Structure 1
């Protein structure tokens, strides 16, 4: 058995070393400083923590400071702006988006635009007007990346090597606990760790934690509980988004990855649920994937300002389908969906239409959050997706 495992590892290493790294940027929109989707094959993937502007000075000063800090972090790891394949941006004011987009256009090469998503939300720093997190790609045939050291037990960046055997996207889970943000975070992390155990993964395999929190003023209590869950090990990168929930202080989702050999015969994507959690026909509790390719979508919007309408939602599904097909995928190979809504009408229409578009045996893992705004005037819903090319 040991010889078989070693042989599998040698073969896996040979496959990766001989694989071809590539990045395809689909449907670029220079005016929006984004690509509609980005497909990356045979790459090391780097997930970041949330970078928040210092909150000092006007928007121009804040975005300059934040993007300079981002550039320095990338450079220290051996990367540059054009290596970013997915950029998630969080703003306090929707009217700031145009100025930030113009600055992004100056920073990125027009032929290397990332997939981009926007959310209007309260930010972790009181006076900050901008925050972000990213996914970057690295060619494993190039010199290895140099990840920055953890600070106070907190990692800024997490690496998923190209040789990784399996990745898992775990949908948002929520435990009310005693009703406080701190205890809800603690209990939810315990629930997520039980899900990791179901996957035969461990806390050290977690690449990124995303917390939907209400209210954002309690962010330090939640962060402390997340860090305590991983202690004495380092805490992975953490991202916070304020959501409007009447009853749940937090919902938390995870990205995890393992290099442990996987059983033969597993499909490219598995849509799973631990025994204690119900399966839903419109979202999966877990999407586990074994694929050397990943497709990241930009946040999509209806083409017409017709909020809360069925037409707006159908247009979004049509756009998703078109981009997926252009990248070699389809709606049956979506891994992860993040839905942001700012009105009950859009949320209700979305719930109504999802069963029509998703295969009930394989809907994507997902989180849905009611937020202040979705990043475009006259729109009340946006979503971004992660997918893999079509396979078994």
Structure 2
């Protein structure tokens, strides 16, 4: 038995990768097919790990709701527009996966428990702060043509796992029984002193705009010249992996990271007006204001897209990832393509850019091991669970688009790194960020993995 590797030759202006191999690009558009070949070599430890991985696979527990997929659509939408919740064995109030097709998608900024004047609400009270955050989210989504009843994914940032659990309990009281978003959670200090949590969200929306709509909402307290939400039109999406910068957390470090992202957008022939959201990993969290002001300089003459901040524990003080509109053009092709800028060395475990060429995306909740364990056992269970969810939603490991790996110790980080080469096609890894955080959203766990995927069928 041999592990199969696929390699593609990098061309002068960057490389696109798809299931058929690699093709050279000039200015972000394909210009010709590059060569592709296979080499085989024994990798005994990988085969042993893969065998153990399969032997230790545990089937997902079934609940009655797992066989019932809830579908909703906005009145007046075409039949192909759908929002489908796939609970599987997820706790009440959430789904393991949500499949959305044919809807514009609202991406919010990170929302804190503050009132419309920007003052912290419910200091020391988790319930009061959760209710305020959910009220802010509800108001912002309604102001953006959506609502809590159209939630696709909710990302929770908290100081403790108990707060994460309580968010889901209080959210379920505001939602109908059939509204079950995908949910992710990490533990991180907040950008606002005294805040116990923050959230951001993705939700289906109404509207037929062809361009990204950035919105500053009067329904919530916000920053001047910064968007509270962005509406991504129906169509393609570009996911740009985080671009770290070494050195101190200074204005120049943030500027260099943003300059790299803008250069990648240029390779793709995309403009700053097409950016939908920026996610910033930084330390300390209290530096968010300084980072925000530096990022604003890259969006002159327009609202700065929604921003999210997470404190991470890394030697590199700042990393920024980005979501942008990717207008679909040309004949039908792969549902996802992968792009490597010419100045960047390709990786077999993550892509610098994943380009979605379909209106159908699959949002997968943060996955955890069933029981507390060491990093190896957690990785085996989490990635096996991921494969099973993908199979149930019409996707597979070759159609992953965006991954986030959150770990809270070195053992978990090590096993994320060891497992990815075993299960990913090295020509088709997702865009990704791996971050060391203060904790993940479940007691006794040190790793969580969340994903966005597309269907495996064209």
TM-score for the superposition, normalised by structure 1: 0.89
Q: Which residue is equivalent to 2:239? A: 169
Aligned equivalents of 2:344 and 2:90: distance in 1?
A: 43
Unaligned runs of 5+ in 1: 1-15
Aligned equivalents of 2:302 and 2:265: distance in 1?
A: 16
8 Å Cα contact 2:214-2:303 kept in structure 1: no
- Counterpart pick for 2:194 among 105, 109, 127: 127
Deviation at 1:201, TM superposition (A): 0.7
8 Å Cα contact 1:340-1:371 kept in structure 2: yes
Call closer, same or farther: CA 1:141–1:168 in 2, change over 3 Å: closer
Q: Which residue is equivalent to 2:225? A: 153
8 Å Cα contact 1:245-1:370 kept in structure 2: yes
- Counterpart pick for 1:24 among 84, 90, 99: 84
Q: Which residue is equivalent to 2:281? A: 212
Alignment of 1:41-190 (within 5 A): 41-54=101-114, 55-56=120-121, 57=123, 58-140=125-207, 148-149=215-216, 152-162=224-234, 164=235, 166-176=236-246, 179-190=248-259
Deviation at 1:140, TM superposition (A): 5.0
Q: CA offsets, 1:204-261, max 9 Å, x none?
A: 1110000000111211111111111112321000000000012x110010000044x6
8 Å Cα contact 1:185-1:250 kept in structure 2: yes
Q: Count matched residues.
A: 369
Call closer, same or farther: CA 1:28–1:126 in 2, change over 3 Å: farther
Deviates more, 1:78-87 or 1:96-105: 96-105
Deviation at 1:103, TM superposition (A): 0.6
8 Å Cα contact 2:326-2:356 kept in structure 1: no
Alignment of 1:222-301 (within 5 A): 222-246=291-315, 248-259=316-327, 262-264=329-331, 266-301=333-368
Call closer, same or farther: CA 1:30–1:179 in 2, change over 3 Å: closer
Aligned equivalents of 2:78 and 2:93: distance in 1?
A: 33
Higher CA-based Rg = 2
Alignment of 1:311-326 (within 5 A): 311-326=377-392
Segments of 4+ moved more than 6 angstroms:
none
More helix by share: 1
Quote the RMSD (CA, aligned, Å).
2.1
Call closer, same or farther: CA 1:67–1:28 in 2, change over 3 Å: farther
Deviation at 1:101, TM superposition (A): 2.1
1:221 equivalent in alignment to 2:290: yes
TM-score for the superposition, normalised by structure 2: 0.77
Aligned equivalents of 1:200 and 1:78: distance in 2?
A: 29
- Counterpart pick for 1:360 among 410, 414, 426: 426
Unaligned runs of 5+ in 2: 1-75, 115-119, 218-222
Deviates more, 1:72-81 or 1:102-111: 72-81
Deviation at 1:303, TM superposition (A): 1.2
8 Å Cα contact 2:241-2:352 kept in structure 1: yes
Deviation at 1:64, TM superposition (A): 1.4
Q: CA offsets, 1:189-208, max 9 Å, x none?
A: 00100000111111111100
